[in-house]
Amino acid sequence: MSQTTTVVAEGPSRAPWYLRLPVIADLRRSVGLQRGMLIVGLVLTALLVLTAIFAPLIAPYGFAASAADGVGFGTQQAPNPTNHWGTTVAGYDVLSRVVWGARTAVLTIITSVTMSFVIGVLLGLVSGYVGGWFDRICTMITDAVYAFPSLLLAIVLSIVISGGQSSAAGGIMSAAISITVVYVPQYFRVIRAETVRLKAEPFVEAARVTGVPVRRTLFGHILRNATRTLPLIFTLNASESILTLAGLGFIGFGIEPSSAAEWGYDLNRSMTDVTSGMWWTAIFPGLAIVLSVLGITLMGESMNDLNDPRLRRRRAPKKTRAAAPAARAAEPGAPARAEAPTGSASSGPAGDGPEGPARAADDTDDTKEA
Amino acid sequence: MSHTEEPDPDEAVAADVAEAVADAETSTGESARSSVPVATAKGAGEKRRRGGLSRYIITRFLLIFPTIFILVTVVFFLMRVTGDPITAALGGRLTPDQLAQRVHEAGYDRPILIQYLDYLGGLVRGDFGTTYTDNMPVLSVLKQYGSATLELVLFSLVISLLIGLPLGRLAAAKRDKWQDAVLRIFAILAYATPVFFLGLLLKLVFAVKLGWLPVSGRISASGEGTMGRLLNPSPFYLVDAIRLGNGPLIVDVLRHAVLPSVALGLLNGGVFLRLVRTNVIGTIDRQYVESARSRGVPERRLVTKHAMRPALIPIITVMGMQIALMLGGAVLTETTFEWRGLGFMLAQYMTARDYVAVQGIVMLMAVIVALANFIVDVIAALIDPRVRY
């Protein structure tokens, strides 16, 4: 999640630098429920990252250990002093696998977020700036990919990348690349829309006229002004990575248990346990997924609310019924892929491109107003 | 995908500029969500409105094809990057000679471009390939199992609407109160919980511990027997059960459907909830609502009627986009509950490494998603004339 901190801060300008770091600045100006959500999100995310880093220290056993000191754990054991969270059908320690699973999840997040960010932003910048047929083709392809069920795409890609069954690196990469393919359109849409908008701004024109190299215009003038909504997409991207990794694992395209611990795979193995009433093999990895996604989503969502003046609550709240004319736009940052980051390009929560039906909503409002 | 109708680029730019200006005025300029569409709609809407509904539908219909074409192409070449499906399925089990012969018989040793054109030709004729493991045309896999998936998706759609509409309205009406906070967190939780974990939890509690509902499947064995007596079965179990007028059978079918549809429905219910809340909040401060309030229309009616109606249009649009999400979710739900639909079969074929079948089903779903999006767009256009252009 280190990516979120790279975004240029817009915090209070006179505070010392460490208070202006994005997350901290957000925290400082938050109140009430938003602050609660942000704190819970931060804590959960920190927990995930720390668990991932210190997995070897926290986990009592290795992720593929089925015995300690020469004594086997036994299979499907209920929680007991040796195995605090019980053992799986294959005789692994559930606690250890859940802890090690954090590492797999975090690695997947980092890989996929980095890749989709780089590719999506580059494509979006170039496509928006260059325009013409290149832009049209890019938009068309990304739109097509965007409409496709991400899990299916992930399945196809994991077949391509790892032939369906995989080592740790292969599994992580196939999940990460699948997420990348699914998420590139989202970065692309947002950045492209912003680029198209900024391209016509006087300062970009000025840069062009004075002969600033295109590359510098793109990154210095446009990109730096187009990053407002990126933190939200980062978090959506991250949580979607966890969910897709788990989904792939659950369907049986996960990482082999001997090469890494993966929550989705463990859930898949626990299906038969559940039928016979054994709860511990399913509950713990499942909760790990829920808490990780919850933490990241809460964080992204509350930071996004804070960055939107229409949704932010002031420190000394005067009870007014929201800024009426602006409230049309709604609460952004819905977590689901379908309505998410594009909502930032347009105002509609419907998450459509500028030409999409989101317009209908605004249109309705306008005519009603007129 | 429904938005590839790029207007004139210049116009778009102009609109964007106008929007940027407007945006700077209305908000502090820091607003992340700028309101692009307003200006576009105002300026260009007049001109395009003359296009008429039929023209819009035709344009929209024609746009299905490039979408499908792109997806088919991407999937096809991706699947071929790794090699041919026969080696993938049988590699290691046959000698190289036998393998080479099989590959030759299936035509996988031809140049990739020929294979691609061949495949495209097949698609045009409605031939999505034949599964390798059980030698079934993919289209008949669809016929046999598609209805189960459709049934599941419809059930869960009902559930998610039952959750999303009233709760979203409640959250909007009680904005910033504790009810709103609880519902928002509920919605986030619904998103954060993978559908298969929720399914396992539901199974654990309601099927195993409490024993109220069946663990898996679409119908009980005895029910299947009763159903088998029907001479011309419809694809839907529920329809058949109702046609038979057999009370216990209807109950049996519904009992099997509860857990899977709740699992899948909650996922979408959370999305709908947020969507309704957002849009109702957007409309409830409008002047026409205010004037209705001043005329003494009860608050409750304001929320359910005045603010709700215009909020429905974006909701319908997003429902279309949700279909893609739901199909993905259906694959996982069906696997969890052994609900024998398309998704379940997809997982089966994947385990069997039958990549011809996987490719066929994936392509099929691409077509379904494209068609569904088309239909939703048409519905949205019928409801709201302003969508057309």
Give the model confidence (pLDDT) of A44-53 as tens digits: 888 888 888 8
Confidence of residue A17 (pLDDT cuts 50, 70, 90): low
Residues 6+ apart with CB under 8 A from B145: B340, B341, B342, B344, B345
Which among B36, B354, B376 is the top mutation candidate for probing chain A, defined by the most A β-carbons within 10 Å of its own β-carbon?
A: B36
Q: Does B5 touch chain A (CB under 8 A)?
A: yes
Nearest residue to A146 via CA among A181, A174, A120: A181
Task: Flag whether A81 is in a domain.
Answer: yes
Q: Does B325 touch chain A (CB under 8 A)?
A: yes
- Closest alpha carbon within chain A to B179: A33
The per-residue pLDDT for range B279-298, each reduced to its tens digit, is: 888 777 778 888 888 888 88
Contacts of B12 in chain A (CB under 8 A): 196, 354-355
Q: Does B31 touch chain A (CB under 8 A)?
A: yes
Q: Which residues of B251-271 are buried (b: 16+ CB within 10 A; e: fewer)?
A: ebbeebbbbbbbbbbbbbbbb
From residue B74, give the alpha-carbon distance in Å to each of A138, B115, B138, B190, B209: 14, 14, 19, 32, 46
Facing B313 at nearest CB: one of A338, A339, A364: A364
B76 or A344, which is more confident? B76
Cβ of A271 within 8 Å of Cβ of B275? The answer is: no
Radius of gyration of chain A (CA): 23
Task: Flag whether A360 is in a domain.
Answer: no
Cβ of B3 within 8 Å of Cβ of A155? The answer is: no
Confidence of residue A97 (pLDDT cuts 50, 70, 90): confident
Facing A243 at nearest CB: one of B74, B181, B194: B194
pLDDT at position A165 is: 55
Contacts of A145 in chain B (CB under 8 A): 70-71, 74
A172 or B202, which is more confident? B202
How much is the ipTM here? 0.73
Q: Mark which residues 265-304 of B lie under 8 Å from A by CB.
A: 270-271, 274-275, 277-279, 281-283, 285-288
Q: Mark which residues 196-225 of B lie under 8 Å from A by CB.
A: 196-197, 200-201, 203-204, 208-209, 215-216
Task: Flag whether A313 is in a domain.
Answer: no
Range name among A12-16, A124-128, A264-268, B364-368 with the lowest pLDDT average: A12-16
Distance between B191 CA and the closest CA of chain A, angstroms: 7
Residues 6+ apart with CB under 8 A from B348: none
Cβ of B31 within 8 Å of Cβ of A326? The answer is: yes
Confidence of residue A331 (pLDDT cuts 50, 70, 90): very low
Facing A332 at nearest CB: one of B33, B329, B380: B33
Q: Average pLDDT in the B107-120 region?
A: 79
pLDDT at position B39 is: 38
Task: Flag whether B351 is in a domain.
Answer: yes
pLDDT at position B237 is: 72
Whether the per-residue pLDDT at B264 is higher than 80: the answer is yes
Task: Flag whether A346 is in a domain.
Answer: no
Range name among A13-27, A198-212, B335-349 with the lowest pLDDT average: A13-27
pLDDT at position A69 is: 67
Whether the per-residue pLDDT at B306 is higher than 70: the answer is yes
Q: What's the half-sphere exposure (Cβ side, CA atoms, 13 Å) at B303? A: 17
Cβ of A339 within 8 Å of Cβ of B88? The answer is: no
Contacts of A155 in chain B (CB under 8 A): 346, 350, 358, 362
pLDDT at position A313 is: 55
**CATH number, position B178:** 1.10.3720.10
Which among A359, A366, A368 is the top mutation candidate for probing chain B, defined by the most B β-carbons within 10 Å of its own β-carbon?
A: A359
Cβ of B204 within 8 Å of Cβ of A282? The answer is: yes
Q: How many domains does chain B have?
A: 1
- Closest alpha carbon within chain B to A299: B188
Confidence of residue A195 (pLDDT cuts 50, 70, 90): confident
**Distance between CA A300 and CA A118 in Å, rounded?**
19
Q: How many domains does chain A have?
A: 1
pLDDT at position A314 is: 54
In chain B, what percentage of residues exceed pLDDT 90? 0
Facing A347 at nearest CB: one of B37, B66, B287: B37
> Domain residues for B320?
53-82+128-383
Cβ of B79 within 8 Å of Cβ of A160? The answer is: yes
Which tokens is A301 given?
């969502």
Confidence of residue B44 (pLDDT cuts 50, 70, 90): very low
Facing B327 at nearest CB: one of A149, A297, A345: A149
Element (H, E) at B19: helix B9-26
Q: Average pLDDT in the A200-211 region?
A: 83
Contacts of B208 in chain A (CB under 8 A): 274-277
Contacts of A356 in chain B (CB under 8 A): 2-3, 37, 317
- Predicted TM-score (pTM) of the model is 0.74
pLDDT at position B8 is: 37
**CATH number, position A84:** 1.10.3720.10
> Domain residues for A279?
33-307
Whether the per-residue pLDDT at B337 is higher than 80: the answer is yes
Confidence of residue A323 (pLDDT cuts 50, 70, 90): very low
Confidence of residue A30 (pLDDT cuts 50, 70, 90): low
Q: Average pLDDT in the A157-171 region?
A: 68
Cβ of A365 within 8 Å of Cβ of B275? The answer is: no
Cβ of B327 within 8 Å of Cβ of A10? The answer is: no
Whether the per-residue pLDDT at A31 is higher than 70: the answer is no
Whether the per-residue pLDDT at B389 is higher than 60: the answer is no
Contacts of A297 in chain B (CB under 8 A): 188, 191-192
Cβ of A163 within 8 Å of Cβ of B88? The answer is: yes
Q: Average pLDDT in the B323-347 region?
A: 83
Q: Does B26 touch chain A (CB under 8 A)?
A: yes
pLDDT at position A86 is: 74
pLDDT at position A136 is: 86
Range name among A95-99, A163-167, B126-130, B322-326 with the lowest pLDDT average: A163-167
Own/partner long-range contacts of B103-109 (Cβ < 8 Å, ≥24 apart): B108/B84, B109/B84
Angle CA B327–B328–B331, to nearest 5 = 85
pLDDT at position A99 is: 86
Cβ of B36 within 8 Å of Cβ of A354? The answer is: yes
Residue type, B337: F
Cβ of A360 within 8 Å of Cβ of B288? The answer is: no
Contacts of A10 in chain B (CB under 8 A): 30
Q: Does B373 touch chain A (CB under 8 A)?
A: yes
Cβ of A143 within 8 Å of Cβ of B1? The answer is: yes
C-beta atoms surrounding A77 within 10 Å: 18
Residues 6+ apart with CB under 8 A from B172: B180, B276, B277, B278, B280, B281, B284, B303, B307
pLDDT at position A75 is: 67
Q: Does B18 touch chain A (CB under 8 A)?
A: no
Q: Average pLDDT in the B210-238 region?
A: 69
